[in-house]
Structure 1
């Protein structure tokens, strides 16, 4: 009978920790010794899958152990060589993932291989070296405290599934063996009923754990949704603050504010013209006042000139324009009316003599 990977995977998924389950699968594999390399490759693929739980990986190692030891005893060397080529890599990757209690069980299996020399020497050295190296490496998994409850539930579910699988297999076998024509049918039926109740209880335990897992996941979803909303609010806040400091935005705001200020249109010039007219009038008044002062001074000078001509004996009636000058204090005193009257009196006194 040719080897079937689907059938082998099915047997791996149905394994339980009983000797009967391991020995039954081992016998079937030993009959496939011509395909030992294919068996080992399929086993490696199964055990290294990320969705294969740790308990299922331990059972797969138990199965490999029985196959290796039985093949050594029955002188079927193909399985020792086939598994020896892959066990070093597999142990190096699987061993660090296992919890402490399962590590002890796997270490016990490796020690048995070493003691009984059921594998080639090179394969044993590779297995132990990879296990020791992976054991001293720090764990790459750093579980957040928020995820711890979910991880605990998942691990318990994994253990529960092993019990569910084994009890379901027993129930199926007991049902197949139940014969209504047997004289002990009633007793066999009671036994089947008990096995069925054990399977039901295992499934109820699994059902309870799955409900807890769903509730825990809902809480995680609600928490992450709240955190998501807070992140979005902070993103909007940061974007608004950055936009408020954008130079282009500030220039536009300044321009809008300056345009909003009231503007004053220049006048039509009437006020300026009025100011100019007032200034012109003031200048004319000042000029007229200056002219009046000049004329008055000119009249005084004319009088003085005529008087001087008369004293000198000259009768000059020709009018001459006086020169503009600033009189000194002495001249101002000499030109006063009192000074002129005194000079006339002196002149008349001389004529009388």
Structure 2
């Protein structure tokens, strides 16, 4: 069957909710995709004249056609239905039973999930359904319509103007296409000029086509001008708000900096009024920052022998002290008792004491030779045998 308005209406009139009926009609419509714009206009006209059940079937048909077109990367029908789909859904939704409204909402949710239409078109569909809910006082919560309540009024106006522009696209294309075809037929040089009455009729038809195209384009120009004015108003409002916010930001930043500087000055003034705490803090800071003093170097005893006078004084001190046993650094262990030493033993002990190494203050021993002059005077040989005295004299000469 060739494409014509009557053939499209016949297909739409025989449509029902069965899947076979919808699929068959969709295949026939998609076969004539060159007439997608005209098909969408006839579909909208038939939907206005149908009942709620029939409208649901027509929406199912549009859903099948647009999804198949989207899947095959042929956006002809998506673009053709975009200008009229929001109005069609509003007509089908308003006054429909609750079950049909739920099915229509499900179709719109599928479109949103699969991105069948552009976001502005999808937003327009949801907005029209929300308007229908508010008009009857039963707004629906949740679902895809939950975001429509949050739309700003300025954006709502913008969406409405965009819908007007989209609604005029299809009539403009159809009217301009018809006018161009009629113009080509009349102005084609290869076509012979008919008789005057026929030629006049053709010219009258061309005038009607041109007038219709002119009116459609004029409506489109008006809609686009209103949309542009609204966009310019939004841009101007946003620019003014941006300038005001920028000025306010600079003022607040300057005030914040001044306040911080004033706070630092007040804190310094408070610290200056507390000299005791400040000095204590400085003292603590000085103590914590100053390094610990190093210990003094130990005094090292010189290795040179002591002066002569110091040695003589030491010898005199030793001669005046009573004879004692040899001292050691270890603890003395009490030994067995002995009888009083004789004179020979006392002299031997005394001689060994003078020849022993004295213990210095730093623990090092110094060895020196004791001269005969350093022996103490024991008197005029009282109690000493002549042999012993001779032995002592010889030892002194040898030394």
TM-score in same-fold range (> 0.5)? no
TM-score normalised to the size of structure 1? 0.38
> Which of 1 and 2 has higher RCO (CA within 8 Å, sep 6+)?
1
TM-score normalised to the size of structure 2? 0.33
